[in-house]
Amino acid sequence: MILIGVPVQYSPAILEKYRARVEDYLYVVSSVKNTEIAEAIKYHFGWLDQEGNAVSSMQGKGIRSSLCMFACESVGGVLDNALQGAAAVELVHNFSLIHDDIQDEDEERRHRPTVWSIWGVSKALQVGNYIRILSDLTVKNSVSQILDNNLTLRCTETLSEAYLETVEGQYLDLEYEGKLDITTKEYLGMINRKTGALISCALKLGALLGSADQDTVKEMSAFGRILGLVFQIRDDYLGIWGLQENTGKNVANDVRRRKNSLPIIHALQNGTPAAVTEISKTYRQDCIDEHDIERILSILNDVGTTGYMDKLANSYASSAVSLLETIKIDKVYRIELQELIAFLLKRES
């Protein structure tokens, strides 16, 4: 494995060094108005509890904003110039999380009740929409102060296009629900849109805001695509084998929710006819109980699904590392990205 020797850091430097600055900036953006919407946004980010009292710090790993800041710094840009882009991708990401939770009827995220489960679906829908506009205005109002209008337009367009792909991916994900003949190729195409587009956008925005040359912008963007796949494959792994104390969700949560995630698709394509029938039957049941979960986990074990997932994730990780060699950034930055890849391959939450 190409990343042998790279330590799996908790948490890698890249996810720590920009965090406080991005958090401060996001807090300011979210505080423009003192309304119930702003309160719900601050709750979602983790700065307020349900009663509106100030609590701990920002939730989530902040991967997208960190990558945006990192890309800007690594190409030799002025770090402050990336702040608005970093905030914008983080806002877009969190907007999609709030709508996702409505969509999936998830009552908890990051060990706390979701926005819709506190404020109701209608208000949560609007809170999501509001965050999305904050993202747009953050880029337009601020980026245009530091960059020329042409580059500002490119940044807003980059965000819109990434978001268009994200929505297409989310829609495909819904279309695939209940369809048991999805190929892994189709599935990977879907997650490339659903997850890859915005991670790629984060790096591209950072490179643009750091005034990188065209080639570097493209390479950063391509690198982000592969990173997105590595990220999502691990996400699908954790959706089945993740431990509750780490993920905040039940073991095999994706099976309970009948998610057609990568492990299930792999088993359907590679299992025995009896195994395929068993999965199909279980996914059509009104209720999936602990006994069903055990049987599905045993099928996945027989088919060797975790091995397949590992191999696939590692092969993307290798591609990412190779691509990394061609990007014109200092070695110290390259090592930081390698650490991030190692972390994404093995993360437990």
Closer by beta carbon to a second copy, 33 or else 328:
33
Closest to a second copy by CB, 17 vs 257, is 257
Tokens of 77: 């840009």
237, amino acid identity: Y
**Choices 3-11, 32-40, 283-291, 305-313 (CB under 8 A): range interacting with a second copy:** 32-40
Work out the burial of residue 333: count CB atoms within 10 Å of its CB; fewer than 13 is exposed, 13-18 middle, 19 or more buried: middle
Is residue 310 involved in binding a second copy (CB under 8 A)? no
CB of 166 to a second copy, least distance (A): 9
Q: What's the start-to-end Cα distance of the chain, in Å?
A: 22
Taking residues 159 to 198 in sequence order and writing x for each that binds a second copy by CB under 8 A, - otherwise, the string is -xx-xx--xx-xx--xx-----------------------
Which of 73, 64, 50, 56 lies closest to 95 in space, CA to CA?
Answer: 64
Among 121, 335, 332, 340, which residue's Cα sits nearest to residue 226?
Answer: 340
Q: Which of residues 218-257 bind a second copy (CB under 8 A)?
A: none
Nearest distance from residue 89's CB to a second copy, in Å? 15
Enter the DSSP assignment of 349. -
> Which residues, other chains included, contact 128 with Cβ-Cβ below 8 Å and sequence gap of 6+?
95, 96, 98, 99, 102, 115
* Closer residue to a second copy in complex, CB, 99/225: 99
Q: Minimum CB separation from a second copy for residue 121, in Å?
A: 8
What's the closest the beta carbon of residue 149 comes to a second copy, in angstroms? 4
Shortest Å, Cβ 278 to a second copy: 27
* Inter-residue contact 268 to 180 (CB < 8 Å): yes
Tell me whether residue 6 or residue 202 sits nearer to a second copy (CB atom): 202
Q: In the complex, what is the shortest distance from the CB of residue 200 to a second copy, in angstroms, rounded to a whole number?
A: 16
Q: How far is the CB of 107 from a second copy (least distance, A)?
A: 16
Of 139-147, 271-279, 299-307, 319-327, which part binds a second copy (CB under 8 A)? 139-147
For a second copy, give the closer residue by CB, 102 or 344.
102
Please report how close the Cβ of residue 172 comes to a second copy at its closest, in angstroms.
8
> How many binding residues for a second copy (CB under 8 A)?
41
Q: How far is CA 67 from the centre of its chain?
A: 12
Residue 36 touches a second copy, criterion: CB under 8 A: yes
Q: Which of these segments, 22-30, 35-43, 231-239, 333-341, binds a second copy (CB under 8 A)?
A: 35-43
Which residue in this structure is represented by tokens 């591609």?
319
The DSSP string of 6-52 is S---SS-HHHHTTHHHHHHHHHHHHTSS-SHHHHHHHHHHTSB-TTS
Question: How far apart are the C-alpha atoms of 26 and 45, rounded to whole Å?
Answer: 9
Rounded to whole angstroms, the Cα distance separating 21 from 209 reads 16
Axis-axis angle for helices 214-241, 262-270 (nearest 10): 70
Query: Closest separation between CB of residue 220 and a second copy, Å?
Result: 22
Assess 153 for contact with a second copy (CB under 8 A).
yes
Tell me if 262 sits within 8 A of 233, measured CB to CB: yes
189 or 304: CB nearest a second copy: 189
Tell which positions 72-131 bind a second copy, by CB under 8 A: 99, 102-104, 121-123, 125-127, 129-130
Euclidean distance between CA atoms 208 and 84, whole angstroms: 12
Residues engaged in binding a second copy (CB under 8 A): 33, 35-37, 99, 102-104, 121-123, 125-127, 129-130, 132-134, 136-137, 140-141, 144, 148-150, 152-153, 156-157, 160-161, 163-164, 167-168, 170-171, 174-175
